[in-house]
Amino acid sequence: MARLTIRQIEEKLNSIDIQDDPFILSIQNDDRKGVQQLLNKWHSRQLLQKKAYEKHIEMIQYENKYRSQGFRFIAGIDEVGRGPLAGPVVAAAVILPESFFLPGLDDSKKISEQKRNEFYEEIQAKAVAISIGIIEPEEIDRINIYEATKKAMLSAIEGLNPKPDFLLVDAVKLVTPYPLDAIIKGDGKSISIAAASIIAKVTRDRMMAEIATTCPQYGFGQNMGYGTKEHLEAIKIHGITPHHRKSFAPVKDYVTENK
């Protein structure tokens, strides 16, 4: 019987996800370089999928723990934007269905912009509920960034529908009507917090890109308001905008010097 072409083998491999599939065993001794390259790629893909599944199992431990105690609507809460010199702090609250599975989902800081945007759409499509809390720079200056962070989180929680019955929060201890677990580095340990991390990050990045269209000299679309060299130089040349946090150095120093 004629051997399959390399193209035919590639098509067949794309439909196989079992290590000991007879077809995998049958081509292991094929002496064609192209076949062995395809086989190596298939094994690499399988390894990545295995690691993604293992990470998923690790990331649902908190959700499983509290579901086993009778909680149904478990919300993950996270924020982005504590450190920038400009722009809002944004928090997200996300309730995921128990069956939710998104291979590769992790702390948003560990994921590329392209992948974050893909995950954002997946989460939006599949979540039970999503809510956003936003605190603008003027209020951050008035109440301080830590209080603003908590207020953004509480606003996000308040906007959830259905209401949560348990909260998984990234590090911050909140006073709420709901029981909660504040998890250190929770965006890398809980799938719900990781989902909230993605929603908050993409939401804020898009807001900063929009702000950048009105004051492009600051590079907000690239630096997201953080104190990069380009951003600091722009402040020296052009001054500050209503989007800057006047209580944050060196913006604070600029305000003092130019009173």
Which segments are annotated as binding site for a divalent metal cation? 78-79, 170
142-169 burial, b for 16+ CB within 10 Å, e for fewer? Answer: eeebeebbbbbbbbbbeebeeebebbbb
Q: What 3-state class would DSSP assign to 178?
A: coil
Q: How far apart are the C-alpha atoms of 61 and 38, rounded to whole Å?
A: 35
CA 171 centroid distance within chain: 16
Q: How far is CA 254 from CA 43, 149, 160, in A?
A: 56, 24, 39
Q: What is the DSSP letter of 168?
A: E
Q: How far apart are the C-alpha atoms of 54 and 214, rounded to whole Å?
A: 44
Cβ-count burial of 133 within 10 angstroms (0-12 exposed, 13-18 middle, 19+ buried)?
buried
Sheet holding 129-135, edge to edge: 129-135, 89-95, 74-80, 166-170, 180-183
Binding site residue list: 78-79, 170
